[in-house]
Amino acid sequence: MSKQIQTKRVGSPLSPTTLVQARDLSKHYHRGQEQVEALSGVSFELETGRFAFVVGPSGSGKSTLLHLLGGIDRPTSGSLIVNGVSLAQAKEAALATFRRDNIGFIFQFYNLLPALNAEENVALPLLARGLSRRAALERARQLLDQVGLADRRQHKPAQLSGGEQQRVAIARAVVGEPSLVLADEPTGDLDKTAAQAIMALMLDLNQRLSTTFLVATHNEALCSLGDQTWALQNGRLVS
Ligand SMILES: Nc1ncnc2c1ncn2[C@@H]1O[C@H](COP(=O)(O)OP(=O)(O)O)[C@@H](O)[C@H]1O
Ligand SMILES: [Mg+2]
């Protein structure tokens, strides 16, 4: 489905459409004397181009899983390969490069930089990759058009509604053509109408750009919109 992924993954033992392979993934945290098993024995595969959900109640390990997949954090044990990169053993510098080149993040509270306007926020991932400011801003404007914010380019986050801020964050997440977009409760702070519009936008981008999405939510009703759902309970996958 994606040429870029196939060429990058030459020599990989995985099938060309396997984007994520998680095997017996565990993540343990220490809270004082107590050990918290945020994830235990999680195994799954995600194929390129999918729109998938990870669902579960608060505290079930959804954010932890997204952090591992995005190279923000490393598993305590198990193996994790994303787009041909083995993340479990990767050094911090390799994880940073992996994140920059492969991952787009969407957060519940948007996490836009308040001092920058919409197009500057969207351009950031391209500037981080060394694109010129002019080229990055031009591409950012194209993405803002695609998410329906052509008339909000110069607005700062505080001048935008929650739904508009999340559109900017979505444009920022996909502008660098990442192999995987990770969205952590992306509609959790929005009213029903805005939430539906944000889901529709992500589904549309998944179709149009062939970008793979993994969306974490506690809202089981959303899962019917995707191709695939994994349910977490107390850090374990349940069917
Ligand atoms: N940095 C951390 N230190 C200690 N415990 C953590 C940390 N992050 C998450 N946890 C614990 O791990 C479990 C899973 O958390 P999380 O992945 O945030 O769940 P969810 O996103 O499904 O609400 C919870 O019990 C949480 O308290
Ligand atoms: Mg969470």
Question: Would you state the pLDDT for residue 9?
Answer: 38
Q: Write b or e for each residue in 204-237: b if 16 or more Cβ atoms lie within 10 A of its Cβ, otherwise e.
A: ebbeebebbbbbbbeeeebbeebeebbbbeebbb
Q: What is the CA 117 to chain-centroid distance, rounded?
A: 22
Instruction: Parse the chain into domains and list their residue ranges.
Output: 3-238
For the segment 96-139, what is each residue's pLDDT rounded down to a tens digit?
999 999 999 999 999 999 999 999 999 999 999 999 999 999 99
Q: How far apart are CA 182 and CA 218, in angstroms?
A: 15
d(CA 117, CA 124): 11
How far apart are alpha carbons 163 and 49 in whole angstroms? 25
pLDDT in tens, 6-47: 333 344 455 669 999 999 999 999 989 999 999 999 999 999
Per-residue pLDDT tens digits for 140-158: 999 999 999 999 999 999 9
- The predicted-structure confidence for 75-96, as pLDDT tens digits, reads as follows 999 999 999 999 998 999 999 9
pLDDT at residue 195 is higher than 50: yes
* Per-residue pLDDT, 239: 74
Residues with Cβ within 5 Å of ion ligand 2? 62-63
Question: Apex CA 143: angle with CA 52 and CA 71, to 5°?
Answer: 45
CATH code for the part of the protein at 3-238: 3.40.50.300
Contact 22, 45 (CB under 8 A): yes
Residue nearest to atom 3 of ligand 1 (CA): 29
pLDDT at 63 exceeding the cut of 90 = yes
Q: Which two tokens stand for residue 68?
A: 């591992």
Q: How far apart are CA 4 and CA 9, in angstroms?
A: 9
Q: Please give the order of strands across the beta sheet that includes 77-82.
A: 34-47, 18-31, 77-82, 85-86
To test the pocket of ligand 1, the residue of 27, 30, 34, 36 to mutate (highest count of ligand atoms within 8 Å of its CB) is 36
Ligand 1, residues at Cβ distance < 6 Å: 29, 31, 36, 38, 56, 58-64
Ligand number, closest to the Cα atom of 185 = 2
What is the pLDDT, as a whole number, of residue 147? Answer: 97
User: Parallel, antiparallel, or unpaired for β 212-217 and 51-55?
Assistant: parallel
CA 18 to chain centre: 17
Nearest CA to ligand 1 atom 14: 61
Distance from the alpha carbon of residue 27 to the mean position of ligand 1, in angstroms: 10
N-term to C-term CA, the chain: 27
Segment 57-66 shows an average pLDDT of 98
Q: Which of 206, 214, 182, 228 is nearest to 1 (CA)?
A: 206
Do residues 166 and 186 touch, judged by C-beta distance below 8 A?
A: yes
Please write the tens of the pLDDT for every residue from 163-180.
Answer: 999 999 999 999 999 999
